């Protein structure tokens, strides 16, 4: 019974996909020069209107908690791009034969998928200097996505993405 519980726990942990984030920024940027932000007026995020609103609300509260102000004439603009794709399951089948001298051996290896191929969502955040019109910071996140999730689950998932993406913003200057 204890082993069954352990196996079920292991499968549940492996089937949950966390948020993965990649960052990039211009090392010559002085992030202390930026105090206000706004969104590009022609933003086409690729999200539904409701998810876009949820994402922007979470982003606003995160940036404002870090001391940034939403302004009509900002120091930088934010662009958000999103796409969804279906990930393929990780499974494989391999056959091998080998031997030395009189001994011959063989084997078959079968990989079993730990979960179905799921839908992944990639969200990219671009921060563009308003005066120079140059990209100075970018982050890209990937996480699991359920199309039929309830509004509260969608909101919580987007908040988790924002929390992970902006955990290291602004980057430490060295």
Tens digits of per-residue pLDDT, 46-75? 888 999 999 999 999 999 999 999 999 999
| pLDDT reported for residue 57 | 95
124 occurs within a structural domain: yes
103 occurs within a structural domain: no
| CA nearest to 173, candidates 66, 67, 27, 36 | 27
Report the domain count for the chain: 1
7 occurs within a structural domain: no
5 occurs within a structural domain: no
Residues paired with residue 84 on neighbouring β-strands, in sequence order:
121
Q: What is the DSSP letter of 133?
A: -
Neighbours of 60 (CB within 10 A): 15
| pLDDT reported for residue 31 | 93
At 163 the three-state DSSP class reads: helix
Neighbours of 135 (CB within 10 A): 16
| pLDDT reported for residue 168 | 87
First to last CA, the chain: 53
**Could you tell me the mean pLDDT of each successive run of 10 residues in the chain, 174 residues long?**
51 57 92 94 88 94 96 96 72 58 62 60 93 95 82 90 92 75
- The answer to pTM > 0.75 is no
64 occurs within a structural domain: yes
Could you tell me the CATH number of the domain that includes residue 170? 3.30.160.670
- Structural domain range at position 123: 18-86+118-174
| pLDDT reported for residue 12 | 45
């Amino acid at each position: 019974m204890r082993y069954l519980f352990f196996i079920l726990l292991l499968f549940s942990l492996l089937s949950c996909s966390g948020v993965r984030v990649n960052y990039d920024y211009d090392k010559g940027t002085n992030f202390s020069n930026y105090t206000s932000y706004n969104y590009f007026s022609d933003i086409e995020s690729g999200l539904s209107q409701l998810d876009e609103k949820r994402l922007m609300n979470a982003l606003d509260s995160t940036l404002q908690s870090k001391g940034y102000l939403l302004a009509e004439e900002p120091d930088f603009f934010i662009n958000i791009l999103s796409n969804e794709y279906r990930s393929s399951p990780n499974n494989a089948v391999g056959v091998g034969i080998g031997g030395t001298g009189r001994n011959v051996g063989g084997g078959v290896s079968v990989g079993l998928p730990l979960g179905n191929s799921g839908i992944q969502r990639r969200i990219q955040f671009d921060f563009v200097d308003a005066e120079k019109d140059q990209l100075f910071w970018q982050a890209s996140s990937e996480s699991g996505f359920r199309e039929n999730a309830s509004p509260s689950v969608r909101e919580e998932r987007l908040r988790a993405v924002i929390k992970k993406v902006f955990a290291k913003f602004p980057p430490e200057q060295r």
